[in-house]
């Protein structure tokens, strides 16, 4: 094989997004995927305006909308009594940020990015599990489980929660939250779907558990997620998150939530981990991206979005540090990438943890939370402006009012760089 400009280790949503972003800058990109075929496991995923803005820049938003659902509202309810606590008007949110809130099947989003990479000429390699990363005099090299090696001017490690490359930066391990997620989808013709409003993202927050539902594939499916704290995990047992714990965790919840439990996939569950924030993502010509750098808990639905945003930001900095002859000043581009992304993603990671604690309160704390949420103005965006909005913020500034602006002036992190500036 000829040597590419960039190797991306990992063919998930973040890896494909980065490959597409850099190919658009005229670079030759090779993606190494460990599995026998490219694909994505799971069910639904929520894409906030900070992601649909990027899909629009890639020319993929219309296809994503066709494959997904544009819900009208996000509604938070108490899981015990079913009472509405607060809501977001997602149509108004679209007006505010200029781009929609979209829900889509993970496999549909992955397929959309994969097809875009194929059209762009990305080299896609399967059965290529990367076991080692190292810098070289003129770039970086990866070694595969087969013993084969690949070299490039830059290697991006998009190798997930259990990243091999992360070990070059820090000797740490994933942090267990003791929470576990069950997922499932229900065909539209089932009575269960008729009892749910497919025009909303429903979030039921309960004592040490929560339940989410929304429509997928134009309303053909109801997506459900049930998350709970595992007593077995807290006790240090290895066999935790089992179906008996699922049923016990939701025994106190309202009828709508309990009625959804039989439709969960009970043969598979997802234990929920994150890692401590890491503020150093670049070592020589090796750069971390996505969950290898910042795997968050899912409470603000930003994990995959942050990975896609990483790739877009890196591509923008490459464009700013690319000479007319096509050569890239990798030192400058990577320094700029590392200057804006880690602090922003640290905030996402720690905010996700805090939201998880808020959702899962019990006793008097639950009652106080409910009082606060009921008092919230449905059009209060103070807690989303820093995350969804293309504002010219630095990390120590407070969010402020703004009007939607085009992607050409969107923040590369939380600090905007107008085109033509360094």
What are the residue numbers of the active site? 214
194 neighbors 44 (Cβ within 8 angstroms): no
What's the rounded Cα separation, in Å, for the pair 249 and 392? 43
Q: Are strands 175-187 and 221-229 parallel, antiparallel or unpaired?
A: antiparallel
Question: Alpha carbon of 188 to those of 204, 211, 216: distances in Å?
Answer: 21, 19, 10
Q: How far is CA 175 from CA 178, 271, 282, in A?
A: 9, 11, 22
CA 22 to chain centre: 19
Given a contact cutoff of 8 angstroms between Cβ atoms, the answer to whether 302 and 384 are in contact is no
Crossing angle between the packed helical segments 303-320 and 330-359, to the nearest 10 degrees: 160
The Cα 55–Cα 104 span in angstroms is 13
Report the alpha-carbon distance of residue 249 to residue 226 in Å, rounded. Answer: 10
C-alpha of 329 from chain center: 29
Alpha-helical segments (H) within 187-254: 191-194, 231-234, 243-249
3-state secondary structure of 44: strand
The label of the residue with tokens 């602090």 reads: 343
């Amino acid at each position: 094989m000829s040597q590419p400009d960039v190797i991306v280790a990992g063919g998930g949503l973040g890896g494909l997004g980065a490959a597409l972003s850099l190919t658009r800058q005229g670079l030759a990109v090779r993606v190494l995927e460990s599995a026998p075929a490219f694909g994505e496991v799971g069910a639904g995923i929520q894409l906030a305006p900070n992601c649909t803005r990027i899909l629009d820049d890639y020319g993929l938003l219309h296809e994503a909308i066709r494959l997904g659902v544009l819900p009208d509202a996000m509604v938070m309810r108490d899981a015990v009594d079913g009472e509405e606590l607060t809501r977001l008007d997602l149509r108004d949110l679209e007006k505010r940020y200029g781009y929609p809130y979209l829900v889509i099947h993970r496999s549909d989003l992955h397929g959309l990015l994969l097809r875009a990479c194929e059209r762009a000429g990305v080299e896609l390699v399967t059965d290529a599990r990367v076991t080692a990363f190292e810098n070289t005099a003129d770039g970086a090299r990866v070694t595969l489980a087969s013993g084969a090696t690949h070299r490039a001017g830059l290697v991006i490690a998009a190798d997930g929660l259990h990243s091999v490359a992360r070990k070059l930066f820090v000797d740490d391990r994933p942090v267990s939250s003791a929470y576990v997620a069950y997922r499932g989808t229900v065909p539209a013709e089932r009575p269960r779907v008729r009892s749910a409003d497919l025009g909303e993202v429903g979030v039921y927050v309960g004592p040490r558990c929560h339940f989410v539902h929304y429509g997928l594939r134009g309303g053909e499916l109801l997506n459900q997620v049930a998350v709970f704290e595992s007593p077995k995990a807290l006790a240090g047992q290895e066999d935790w998150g089992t179906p008996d714990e699922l049923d016990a965790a939701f025994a106190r919840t309202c009828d709508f939530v309990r009625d959804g439990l039989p439709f969960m996939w009970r043969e598979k569950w997802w234990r929920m981990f994150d890692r401590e924030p890491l503020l150093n993502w670049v070592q020589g010509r090796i750069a971390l991206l996505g969950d290898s750098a910042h795997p968050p808990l899912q409470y603000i639905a930003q994990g995959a979005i942050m990975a896609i945003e990483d790739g877009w930001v890196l591509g923008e900095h490459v464009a700013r540090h690319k000479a007319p002859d096509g050569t890239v000043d990798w030192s400058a581009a990577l320094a700029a990438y590392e200057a804006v992304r880690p602090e922003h993603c640290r905030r996402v990671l720690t905010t996700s943890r805090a939201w998880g604690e808020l959702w899962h309160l019990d006793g008097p704390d639950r009652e106080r939370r409910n009082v606060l949420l009921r008092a919230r103005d449905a059009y209060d965006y103070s807690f989303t402006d820093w995350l969804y909005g293309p504002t010219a913020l630095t990390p120590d500034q407070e969010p402020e009012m703004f009007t939607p602006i085009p992607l050409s002036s969107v923040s590369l992190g939380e600090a905007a760089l107008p085109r033509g500036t360094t």
